[in-house]
A and B are shown apart, each in its own frame.
Chain A
Amino acid sequence: DIQMTQSPSTLSASVGDRVTITCRASQSISSWLAWYQQKPGKAPKLLIYEASTLETGVPSRFSGSGSGTEFTLTISSLQPDDFATYYCQHYNRYKFGQGTKLEIK
């Protein structure tokens, strides 16, 4: 069973910062990875699929990269609306990482 591990679990940053969240798979998953944003009390929102393709309507400050076992989600310049929890997900059996909470510093 493939495990997905995100780091860090919590990230404190300021508006305008560039931030990166990492997701590691316990074995190679090619590019079959998605990223989601979830705000409190709301459903998750798909940001990126197939590791690096931006979902329609998602701001271009979000980007994804990686393949195999290591992936990153980068926000180039944090906006106030970006403070949320982020999850990676491998397609097979919809395996989610444990989440990264992005907090205001």
Chain B
Amino acid sequence: EVQLVQSGGGLVQPGGSLRLSCAASGFTFSDYWMSWVRQAPGKGLEWVANIKKDGTEKYYVDSVKGRLTMSRDNAKNSLYLQMNSLRVEDTAVYYCARDRDSGYAGGDALDIWGQGTMVTVSS
């Protein structure tokens, strides 16, 4: 079965750090770009970051640049999001997702999603 299983998340104080993980199975992980998408409570979906198949290129939404770092370990079929200097406005459910590999440069549709993990930034 093709799936993404997430772990990590939780409650952290403003300025703190967290690391999210996403374990892929059922497909050749190294063949796909991957993304993180978040959803603040009661709000819509916001793309956060993506990473190239081999990890050599990464792109971020402006609001997280310099604070959130996406990485991957293709040997472990795993995706990570290191979250530093967290702010109250980073509070959201974070989803990892697989890019569909449509061939479009600059983005894609997202065809496989993790179950989501809640990150709460509060004092």
Contact = CB atoms under 8 A, between A and B. Distances in A.
A92 B107 contact: yes
A46 B108 CA distance: 12
B113 A44 contact: yes
Given A43-B114, A94-B37, A99 B44 contact: yes
B111 interface: yes
Contacts of B111: 46, 49, 55
B30 interface: no
A93 B45 CA distance: 12
Contacts of A55: 111
Contact of B45 (A32, A45, A96): A96
Given A87-B44, A93-B107, A96-B45, A43 B113 contact: yes
A89 interface: yes
A7 interface: no
B123 interface: no
A101 to B, nearest CB: 11
Interface of A: 32, 34, 36, 38, 42-46, 49-50, 55, 87, 89-99
30 contacts: A32-B107, A34-B110, A36-B110, A38-B45, A43-B114, A44-B95, A45-B113, A46-B100, A50-B109, A55-B111, A87-B45, A89-B45, A90-B107, A91-B102, A91-B104, A91-B107, A91-B108, A92-B104, A92-B106, A93-B106, A93-B107, A94-B35, A94-B37, A94-B47, A94-B107, A94-B110, A95-B107, A96-B45, A98-B44, A99-B44
Given A49-B111, A87-B44, 11 more contacts: A32-B104, A34-B109, A46-B100, A46-B109, A49-B100, A89-B109, A90-B107, A91-B108, A93-B107, A94-B108, A99-B45
Question: Top 6 nearest A-B pairs by Cβ distance?
Answer: A94-B47, A34-B109, A43-B113, A91-B107, A49-B109, A96-B45
